[in-house]
Chains A and B, each alone.
Chain A
């Protein structure tokens, strides 16, 4: 029984991390129409920032030079800050290009980041990566039950980010983003500084990815170049399309559906020789989920909802 609970809490933790990435894709694409595929690149930057900031001195064959020995929350905040700085540098030239070009540039960014992680050993410890990641509250809960705490912590963070995304989405800020997405020249013609809006939402989404990256190292207990492959970006995108673009609830629901299907297969891989078969079927299943959902819910499970108009203030004449 307790095994099942531990398995479920690790599933919930993973779902939470992906939910953050999907919320970020929703801010970028669902609200602002930015074809941003660099999600995993930002997550990698966040993860490695966390690892380096919380790291102790190198041992054995470790080759990294920088370590700061800080508590987890310093690393966590640093992950957000450094990722935002990265996004600013990436965004300055790329947000001026539109549509498909932005997609190519952000895609390339994520690939370059992964290569840098493998090759710049002095900073990232190369392909060995960082193992034994410093985990929050680890001292308090030794042993296997730690997964429960981790799941709880992640759920709380997801809830906070969801509320922030929701607040932004329903505010005039979100409305202007959707206007820019729908018709950029018209947004310029009513005086909106399109670049500033794109940049701000780009930074916000990237920061969320940075935090999610740090959390991913908690979940994996390590940071390695190989876990930051393009498949992470694709999963977040599929989750958003399944759940519904332009809808934060949809982003969460899409993640639960997609990862639910994925993890259900892990659950039935009972014997070791079945594992490779199951892991190949898992990819087929991801595609199948996407096709089935798009067949029956072309705009996703929870499509973008038009907000209700605010009630006009009661005028003096009415009183």
Chain B
């Protein structure tokens, strides 16, 4: 059986620097798959290549059997892959509800023609979507802040809103880059539960994580990058006992 997302021999070179070197890995449909590795091992670069923000030097990326290598980012997103960034993925001057509503696909009101001729249709679509947005804010605990600007949210609230927006966009694969950064330990559990819940509802996750205990608890499957190369893949239990992974994180045992 082939994976939902397949990365085949992807390399990304910046001049002489090999940021990602001949990486082959997969993300199974319905899984929470983690990508871990020490700083600078190429995790974010790999994410950027998969989502089209960087062009691959070599190799190819397949999503649901279809080649998506080097497509423009918005095309890849519209195929059903959403992603967040290490820095905020929110629109700071937009309110919470706008941050949600801006994300739903096929907006009639984005066509200039419709703005002047199809006002009724646009209103109907917006009303349907605001209902979804209300359900989402209830779920992520931001119902009371729906008219607040995203810039005024706390770091954990902002992370929850980023997750909430994925619901609005309703992708099949969600790629989260460091969702745990800037989130306090108490909120970390809420965030983890949210991800597990969404996964049970059928959303596939591919997550970069620095916080190992968080990521170990969460994921079904892990890939480990070290010095731009994939050094291990497997369940968290297997990966945690892998000699090379321990070496990469702890150094060589004398």
Contact = CB atoms under 8 A, between A and B. Distances in A.
Interface of A: 164, 167-168, 171-173, 175-176, 178-179, 181-183, 185-194, 197, 200, 204, 246, 304, 306-313, 315
B110 A309 contact: no
Q: Size band of the B side of the interface?
A: 35 or more
Contacts of A311: 127, 130
B17 interface: no
Question: Which 8 interchain pairs have the tightest Cβ spacing?
Answer: A172-B109, A191-B77, A182-B91, A188-B73, A191-B78, A313-B127, A186-B89, A312-B131
Majority SS at the chain A contact face: helix
Given A167-B116, A189-B73, A173 B109 contact: yes
Interface string B98-126: 11011101011111100110000011101
B115 A168 contact: yes
Contacts of B115: 167-168, 171, 173
A283 B84 CA distance: 47
B159 interface: no
B53 interface: yes
A278 to B, nearest CB: 40
30 contacts: A167-B116, A168-B115, A172-B108, A172-B109, A173-B111, A179-B91, A179-B94, A182-B90, A182-B93, A183-B88, A185-B53, A185-B73, A188-B74, A188-B77, A189-B51, A189-B83, A189-B84, A190-B77, A190-B103, A191-B74, A191-B78, A191-B105, A193-B74, A194-B74, A204-B112, A304-B93, A306-B95, A307-B95, A309-B95, A311-B130
A200 B75 CA distance: 19
B149 interface: yes
A200 B83 contact: no
B214 interface: no
Nearest to B115: A171
Interface in B20-67: 51, 53
Nearest to B79: A191
B134 interface: yes
B94 A182 contact: yes
A191 B115 CA distance: 20
Q: Which of A171, A187, A192, A308 has the most CB of B within 10 A?
A: A171
Nearest to A185: B85
Nearest to B124: A313
Contact of A191 (B97, B101, B131, B169): B169
Contacts of B107: 172, 176
A312 B74 contact: no
Contacts of B89: 183, 185-186, 189
Contact of A183 (B73, B90, B103, B130): B90
B156 to A, nearest CB: 18
Interface of B: 51, 53, 72-75, 77-78, 82-85, 88-95, 97-99, 101-103, 105, 107-112, 115-116, 122-124, 126-128, 130-131, 133-134, 146-147, 149, 165, 169
B169 A190 contact: yes
A216 to B, nearest CB: 26
B110 A176 contact: yes
B234 to A, nearest CB: 29
B143 to A, nearest CB: 12
Q: Which of B51, B110, B116 has the most CB of A within 10 A?
A: B110
A193 B247 CA distance: 43
Contacts of A168: 112, 115
Given A183-B92, A185-B85, A306-B98, A190 B109 contact: no
A176 B122 CA distance: 14
A308 B112 CA distance: 21
Given A246-B93, A310-B130, A313-B127, 20 more contacts: A164-B116, A167-B115, A168-B112, A172-B110, A173-B111, A173-B112, A175-B101, A179-B91, A179-B98, A182-B91, A188-B74, A191-B75, A192-B74, A193-B74, A309-B97, A309-B146, A309-B147, A312-B130, A313-B124, A313-B131
Given A310-B127, A311-B127, A173 B110 contact: yes
B84 to A, nearest CB: 7
Contact of B82 (A189, A309, A310): A189
Contacts of A183: 88-92
A189 B169 CA distance: 10
Nearest to B107: A172
A312 B110 CA distance: 20
